[in-house]
Amino acid sequence: MEKFELDKSLANEIRARVLGDGFMKIVQSVRRNGKTFRISMRPVLIGGEKRYQAEMNDDGHVQVKNLDAEGAAAGLEEMIAQKGARDLHLMTASGDLHVRVTKKGHVLASRSAEMAREATVRPHDRVKKLPLTSFDSAALLRVAGIADGDGRVRASMRGKYDQVNEFLKVVEDVLKDRKEHKLHVVDCGCGKAYLTLSLYFYLTQALGYSDVRVAGVDRREDVVRAAEKMAAELDVSDKVVFVARDLHDLESAADFGDGFSPDMAISLHACDTATDEAIARGVEWKCRYIVSAPYCQHELQKSVGGPNADAAFAGVLRHGILRERLCDILTDAFRAMILRVLGFKTQVVEFVSPDATARNILLRAEYGAKPGQAGPVSDYLNLRDYWHVTPWLETRLAARLEPHLKRYD
Ligand SMILES: C[S@@+](CC[C@H](N)C(=O)[O-])C[C@H]1O[C@@H](n2cnc3c(N)ncnc32)[C@H](O)[C@@H]1O
């Protein structure tokens, strides 16, 4: 028997446990050249039939396959025949088997005490396919600092990783009817460019867009320079550019390079009125799509609840946190309504779980309706006049809104 090889009886025990009744899951991880390769398999029910779901994680690049019994047996033989140091953990209803093959080739096997677990084969719950696991994103995640050198998402980056994935899902959905393969996008308040770079790679590598340019804008010079370095390391500097500027000071889309014509404006947690500015820019650049997850906004809090406040709301506005939340809701409602007035079909959705961040609202808008329609206009005026406020976005887009903001009788 060669070093690193599992002896016959251990290999047979693994086969019997995996292919027999009560099998729950097998996971093998191998570390080679500083990289981790992990393969796992578990039984699932697909259309009432037992199958095996195999997941291969090659240094952060995940592939999932559903196998029949024959495919599972073949996959298992590959696991058993692996060479080198590795760990194998097998769970069955009657107990666990843990096999460790050390760097020197010693095979150590340990077994849990007998148990009587229930090993129900669960129906195939759609594999959670995330945008960032649907293509080879290992280099992107490492360079952006989302994943460590082993391809694992850093614990401190889990929240951002989830936000970016969910944001990309929304972008994909927004684009589902787009025929053109050209897409130029501006990420407003891009910060460390997690979304900016991820979007570029997702559009080109997973969604097949051929003419993609993405520009990230942030007023912080340091993050912009760092983002430029990442784009260079990923060899996409000609397609992903960064501009260190306050959004309010941008001049035109020409700031992003010759021939850049934005189709989409996005923002993820751009603070305060930067979200409004992102929306305003999207309107001015005649973007077809605007996707924006707002952050805090303080403007309305200053004007709501003054002498004009509806007395019925006194009990809400008295409490700082309730006042803040009410103003957040009103601000996002005004943003959505202004977009509707300007001819954008607009939805307000939750894009991540509220447990992950309280800032989990997202506005998605697509141009395509007639601007200034009576319904959206009167909805907007009714709410605005009820609160006796002028939302920041209305002031910002005054010239475009003015022709429409009249009451229809
Ligand atoms: C909370 S961070 C989010 C960054 C990034 N979108 C993300 O999700 O990781 C907000 C970013 O918006 C930028 N920002 C805020 N106001 C801005 C403005 N008026 N113009 C340009 N950038 C702005 C900040 O510098 C900061 O990097």
275 and 166, same domain (yes or no): yes
Domain span at 110: 8-127
State the closest ligand 1 atom to the C-alpha of 272, by its place in the atom list counted from 1: 16
Q: How many domains does the chain have?
A: 2
Q: How far is CA 392 from the centre of its chain?
A: 28
State residue 53's pLDDT score.
84
Ligand 1 atom closest to Cα of 194? 9
Provide the pLDDT for residue 312: 84
**Distance set, CA 333 to CA 62, 209, 300, 369 (Å):** 39, 32, 12, 18
Co-location of 140 and 120 in the same domain: no
Determine the residue type at 23: F
Q: What is the pLDDT of residue 126?
A: 52
Same domain for 145 and 116: no
Sequential pLDDT tens for the chain (409 residues): 677 888 899 999 999 999 888 888 898 988 877 777 888 888 887 767 788 888 887 766 667 778 888 999 999 999 998 888 888 988 888 888 989 988 888 889 999 888 877 776 766 655 567 999 999 999 999 999 999 988 899 999 999 999 999 999 999 999 999 999 999 999 999 999 999 999 999 999 999 999 999 999 999 999 999 999 999 999 999 999 999 999 999 988 888 999 999 999 999 999 889 999 999 999 999 999 999 999 988 888 888 876 666 778 888 888 999 999 999 999 999 999 999 999 999 999 999 888 778 889 999 999 999 999 999 999 999 999 999 999 999 999 999 999 999 876 6
CB neighbourhood size of 217 (10 A): 29
Residue among 160, 167, 271 to mutate when testing ligand 1 (max atoms within 8 A of CB):
271
User: Cβ distance 66 to 51 under 8 Å?
Assistant: yes
Which of 162, 161, 173, 160 has the alpha carbon at shortest distance from 207? 173
**42 and 188 belong to one structural domain:** no
Residue appearing with tokens 């991820």: 198
Give the whole-angstrom CA distance, residue 338 versus residue 401. Answer: 8
- Which pLDDT score, from 0 to 100, does residue 306 have? 67
- Check whether residue 72 and residue 169 sit in a common domain: no
- Is residue 301 assigned to a domain? yes
Question: According to DSSP H, which parts of 157-220 are helical?
Answer: 158-174, 194-201
Token pair for 294: 């707002």
Q: Which residues, 6 or more positions from 276, have their beta carbon under 8 angstroms from its beta carbon? A: 297, 335, 392, 393, 396
Measuring CA to CA, how many Å separate 357 from each of 80, 127, 268, 269?
Answer: 43, 24, 12, 11
Q: What pLDDT does 266 receive?
A: 98
How far, in Å, from the CA of 53 to the mean position of ligand 1? 41
Using alpha carbons only, what angle is made at residue 170 by residues 165 and 171, rounded to the nearest 5 degrees? 95
Using DSSP's 3-state secondary structure scheme, residue 165 falls into helix
pLDDT, residue 128, reads 62
Asked whether 190 lines ligand 1 (CB < 6 A), one says yes
Q: What is the CATH number of the domain that holds 251?
A: 3.40.50.150
